[in-house]
Amino acid sequence: MDGAEESRTGTGGDRRGPAEGTPPPDCPAHAATATDSRPAAPAARPADRPATTPGGAPRIPQLRLDELLEELQWRIDAARGTRDRVHSLLEAVLAVGRELDLSQALHRIVEAAADLVDARYAALGVIGADGHSLSQFLTVGLGPQEIAAIGPQPTGRGILGELIRDPRPLRCPTLSEHPASVGFPANHPPMHTFLGVPVRVRGEVFGNLYLTDKRGGLDFDADDEAVISTLAVAAGVAIDNARLYEEAQRQQRWLRASAEITRSLLSGAPRLEVVELIARRAREIAGAELADVSVASADPGERAAELTVEVALGGRPEARLGVTVPVDGTLSGAAYASGSPATSAELEHDERFPAGPPGRFTGLGPAVAVPLGTGEGFGRGVLLLARASGRPPFTAGETGPLLGFAGQAALALELAERRRDAEQLTLLEDRDRIARDLHDLAIQRLFATGMTLQSAGRLIESRSAADRVSRAVADLDETIKIIRSTIFGLRAHSEPDRGLRARATRAVGEAQTTLGFAPRLSMEGLLDTDVPQELAEHVMAVLGEALSNAARHARASRVEVALRAAGGTVTLTVTDDGVGVPADGRRSGLRNLAERAERAGGTFALLAPEAGGTRLVWEAPLGL
């Protein structure tokens, strides 16, 4: 009661104030009056101290004050933590937004997510074109050896697929207890807590952020979810910017490549060299492991049954160069037949395309084939690109510019062919004029000269002089034969099926495709007039087999072909600087050549020059 009474007194028992003439409470006069007029109260114990301060404010017990101070400090620390987290989030958003390289941006996003919520492991799964599986999986927290020990990357099963099916933030305190959990593969580190957030780009789900095992054994909370969701929004913008930048850069590279190809064609570069340039630039820009250009066996506009690989780059080119594959049952054939791009997620194991020699595409994964053609109907060929297994597939953003590049390349090739046709026509007209002049002028004069010499020879009494004149007449007859053979050769393009000289020239020119370079050809003698048709067929068969062996087995960089008709025999010699014929190699083709020589009454020899390589000599008499 004493305390209560004092309290009442202290809080207003004496309501007089300075306005009534009473001195203020802290004045000495007020203190004396109070002492004289009232009996002295006993001294209060510390426990009985008033609950108010001398100024009238309520007193707070010491224990409660400590609690309030601790709570205040906790709130200050929480405010500082929130401020630091917001700063970290802003820094992460800025860091992610600065990246223009898509792959670097994706890695930066995963790293930032792990740092913001203090997660031990983080990953970004990129959803594939089918919308149901993961095409890329980027991780943080696992080393290369751990990733290799785990095996193939996830494809979107289990709880990872749950976010694909239902793209909403997902928190789980224990991964193994979630209904969608299917466990971990062998050698996978244990993971417990989980947080997943979708990443959207222009309203479409690009992929998902996965975070596991918050450090300290804590669960991911609502604040963590809010932070990662905010980062996911910024990540979507950064990914979109990186994709746009990458697309612009790629488009610029395609334009530069198209200009380079056009310049090469207009400068008169050989067609095969330009085709190889097309394949090389496409391989570089698309980041492909392999690039093949296959040409159709039919004229443009007509459907071919087979395609022949004219240029092969990367991988195992020796297993593909010159190979003929059917249109039906191959990826290149599908693009050729449809006139539109054809893709494969795993070229080596794609059961849709079983045709073609085995082993050509070992270790290859995503692939795309685009037709080389313009206008309606079937094109001139197909450009095939393939990446190594495990690499990302070709997207629509890559296929579109590639198709445009292939169309421009085909148009440039067509224009170059038209220009070459015009030049060839001019050349043929010039050859025809030369042939007419030789026939109408040179041969007639030589014939007249021979007739004159024959007449004069009868009047010469000296036997030696008469013999000389006779030999001169024989030489003139031989010269006339040579000129006539030359005339046939000049007109061979007008009549391509006539004459051994023209057929041999065409065969050697076609071998350039499979060899990768132009063989050297030399011809001598009256090949078109002295070599019978049946013997010419043998010669052409032997020449084709020799060039084919040089392309497939010799690995040569130089091939020389010499065809000679003289001395009553026709001789074909094919020399290369390759690896030679192995002792345990197949001999069926060589036996065929020997049998042909035997049927023609001639000989066949396979020699090994001192300089290396192989020399094939096939000879037969002209009297067959």
pTM strictly above 0.75: no
**Cβ 113 vs Cβ 211: under 8 Å:** yes
Render pLDDT for 457-507 as a digit per residue (tens, 0 to 9).
777 767 777 777 777 877 777 776 666 666 655 555 444 445 788 888 888
One domain, residues 326 and 283: yes
Question: CA 57 to CA 36: how far, in whole Å?
Answer: 28
**Report for 27-41, 320-334, 434-448: range of highest mean pLDDT:** 320-334
One domain, residues 216 and 277: no
Question: CA 72 to CA 78: how far, in whole Å?
Answer: 10
Is 404 a member of any domain?
A: no
pLDDT beyond 70 at 76: no
One domain, residues 508 and 445: no
Cβ neighbors of 181 (< 8 A, separation 6 or more) are: 158, 159, 175
**Cβ 366 vs Cβ 343: under 8 Å:** yes
Is 67 a member of any domain?
A: no
Question: CA 125 to CA 106: how far, in whole Å?
Answer: 10
| Three-class DSSP category at 185 | coil
- Model confidence at 82, pLDDT cuts 50, 70, 90, reads low
**Cβ 10 vs Cβ 34: under 8 Å:** no
**Residue 188: which CATH number?**
3.30.450.40
Give me 216's structure tokens: 């300290």
Is 59 a member of any domain?
A: no
Render pLDDT for 196-237 as a digit per residue (tens, 0 to 9).
888 888 878 888 888 998 888 888 888 888 888 888 888 788
Give me 118's structure tokens: 């203090």
Give me 144's structure tokens: 């290369």
One domain, residues 141 and 18: no
One domain, residues 486 and 511: no
Render pLDDT for 364-421 as a digit per residue (tens, 0 to 9).
889 999 988 755 556 778 999 999 887 888 888 788 888 888 887 787 777 777 777 7
One domain, residues 84 and 164: yes
Is 135 a member of any domain?
A: yes
One domain, residues 88 and 173: yes
Lowest mean pLDDT among 163-172, 306-315, 387-396, 419-428: 419-428
User: Mean pLDDT across the stretch 29-47?
Assistant: 40
Is 155 a member of any domain?
A: yes
Is 74 a member of any domain?
A: no
Question: CA 171 to CA 182: how far, in whole Å?
Answer: 17
One domain, residues 533 and 615: yes
One domain, residues 235 and 86: yes
Q: Of 394, 427, 442, which residue sits at a domain end?
A: 394
**Range of the structural domain that residue 22 is part of:** 2-48
Question: CA 111 to CA 441: how far, in whole Å?
Answer: 87
Predicted confidence at residue 585, as pLDDT, reads 53
Q: How many domains does the chain have?
A: 5
Bridging pattern class, strands 520-525 and 559-566: parallel
Predicted confidence at residue 6, as pLDDT, reads 34
Question: CA 102 to CA 241: how far, in whole Å?
Answer: 9
One domain, residues 235 and 277: no
Is 62 a member of any domain?
A: no
Is 255 a member of any domain?
A: no
Mean pLDDT taken over the chain: 76
Give me 515's structure tokens: 């060899």
Give me 622's structure tokens: 């002209």
One domain, residues 288 and 231: no
One domain, residues 575 and 450: no
